[in-house]
Structure formats: structure tokens, C-alpha cells
């Protein structure tokens, strides 16, 4: 689980995810109660989920690639404060009952791992038994993956695509995480361009600039000054060496 404290940039995907949760919580009783939040790696989905979880007091689990079907339900039960029963069936019943009684949203992050383990029907069983609200978070192709399970796919309220970080998001990140130096707008724009929508890469480059400036004893830096350092930008590609 990602820790979220007061030092947290307020990004557009956070607002988008919170509005998705509100839509689930306020939906009419005849409407389906599963939503999917999807997007490329680095767009800040998990960070947005952690922030939304703190705001709405959801149940939150982050699936892992090593999980079995039983590991999945045990993790959800423990997040709910339940002592898991022995069988998957019994634990699923425990989860469904708690989800129904609490009326809290269940957030399942890294849903692609659950799809890959063919454990999707367990989530559908929990939803059917509870008529609760479940928000699934995963990679860009998650909606297409879920089409394989027609009965599950038909119970989805909506698919919400995570947005690439825009320049306003980059400004928020600079304001929140670059307290020790002043990064000029022209340098920030280039960092944003190089990141190609990735919140994570914006953060990595902001940190790189800040670390270098502190080493040099600089209090501020613009694009020209940064280019003179020859440190460049992190784009996700390894830099070539001249051997």
C-alpha cells in the first residue's frame, strides 16, 4: 500500500478516480456496481487509488503476481479485518457479507494479475452476493482482457481511462516536491514533454534536477542551465555508452 500524507500533489487523475468512486456510491440500485480505472504504467493510477482510499475509507488491496485464488480472498478478508475461514467459498461469503454491511467500496489495484490467474469469477461472485461497489484498477489493456468473461463484463458500470499528466499536473508536482530549488517553467515544460504523460517520470526528473542543483549549490535553474550540465532527462530508455 502506498503511503499518502499531507505532502501530496493534487493531480487530475486523483479527481477523476474520486468522481468514479462517488458514481459507484450514488448509483441507482438497478445499475451495475463494478467500475474499471485503466491506463498505461506511470500515469499515477496506484497513487491516485491510495489517495482516494484515504479520502473515502475504502477497502484497498493491491494484487500480486504470485497470488493464488485463495491468496486473493485472504488478502481482501484481512483488509476488512476478518479472520479468514478455511475455504475460498467460505472466505468469499465472509467478504460479501462485510461488503454489503459496510457499504464501503472495494478497490482492487493491479487487477491484471487477477485476470492473468483467471480469478475474475471470484470477484464476480463477491459482487453478486453483496451487490456492493467494486473498483478495479489496471493497465491500459484491462478492458479488452475482461471481455473474455462475458458474465463479468456485463456487470461493469463504466470504463474510466486515466489521463496523461498535463502541464498543470507537472506544476503541481513541482510545487509539492521541489521545495529546495526553483525550476523555471521552460525546464519544467521540457521535463513534461520528455515524460510523455508519465507522472512517475516527471517525478524522477524533478528529483534528478533537484539533486544536481543541490550538489552544485544552485538555488534555481532554467532549461539552458540544465542543458549545460549534460545530465539530460530520464525517458525510460537506457543511455547509450560510447565504448
Domain map (residue ranges) of the chain:
12-161, 167-227
Q: Is it true that 12-161 and 167-227 share their CATH fold?
A: no
Return d(Cα 20, Cα 169) in angstroms, integer. 19
- 167-227, which class in CATH? mainly alpha
Point out the residues of the chain with pLDDT beneath 50: 1-4
Identify the pLDDT of residue 171. Answer: 96
CA distances from 194 to 137, 155, 174, 182 (A): 25, 38, 15, 19
Q: Which long-range contacts (CB under 8 A, 24 or more apart) does 96-101 make?
A: 96/125, 96/126, 96/129, 96/130, 96/132, 97/129, 97/130, 99/59, 99/126, 99/130, 99/132, 100/129, 100/130, 100/131, 100/132
Architecture of the 12-161 domain: 3-Layer(aba) Sandwich (3.40)
Cell of 214: 543541490
Amino acid at each position: 500500500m502506498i503511503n499518502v500524507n499531507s505532502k501530496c500533489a493534487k493531480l487530475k487523475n486523483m479527481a477523476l478516480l474520486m468522481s468514479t468512486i462517488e458514481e459507484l456510491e450514488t448509483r441507482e440500485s438497478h445499475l451495475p456496481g463494478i467500475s474499471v480505472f485503466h491506463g498505461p504504467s506511470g500515469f499515477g493510477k496506484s497513487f491516485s487509488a491510495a489517495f482516494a482510499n484515504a479520502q473515502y475509507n475504502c477497502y484497498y488491496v493491491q494484487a500480486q503476481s504470485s497470488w493464488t485464488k485463495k491468496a486473493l480472498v485472504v488478502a481482501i478478508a484481512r483488509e476488512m479485518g476478518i479472520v479468514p475461514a478455511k475455504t475460498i467459498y467460505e472466505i468469499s461469503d465472509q467478504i460479501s457479507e462485510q461488503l454489503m454491511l459496510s457499504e464501503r467500496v472495494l478497490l482492487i489495484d493491479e487487477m491484471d494479475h487477477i485476470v492473468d490467474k483467471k480469478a475474475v469469477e471470484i470477484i464476480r461472485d463477491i459482487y453478486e452476493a453483496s451487490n456492493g461497489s467494486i473498483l478495479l484498477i489496471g493497465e491500459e489493456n484491462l478492458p479488452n482482457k475482461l471481455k473474455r468473461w462475458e458474465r463479468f463484463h456485463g456487470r461493469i458500470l463504466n470504463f474510466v481511462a486515466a489521463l496523461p499528466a498535463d502541464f498543470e499536473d507537472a506544476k503541481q508536482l513541482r510545487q509539492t516536491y521541489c521545495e529546495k530549488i526553483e525550476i523555471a517553467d521552460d525546464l519544467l515544460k521540457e521535463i513534461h514533454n520528455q515524460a510523455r504523460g508519465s507522472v512517475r517520470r516527471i517525478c524522477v526528473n524533478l528529483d534528478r534536477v533537484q539533486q544536481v542543483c543541490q550538489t552544485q549549490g544552485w538555488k534555481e535553474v532554467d532549461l539552458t542551465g540544465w542543458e549545460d550540465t549534460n545530465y539530460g532527462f530520464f525517458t525510460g530508455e537506457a543511455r547509450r555508452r560510447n565504448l
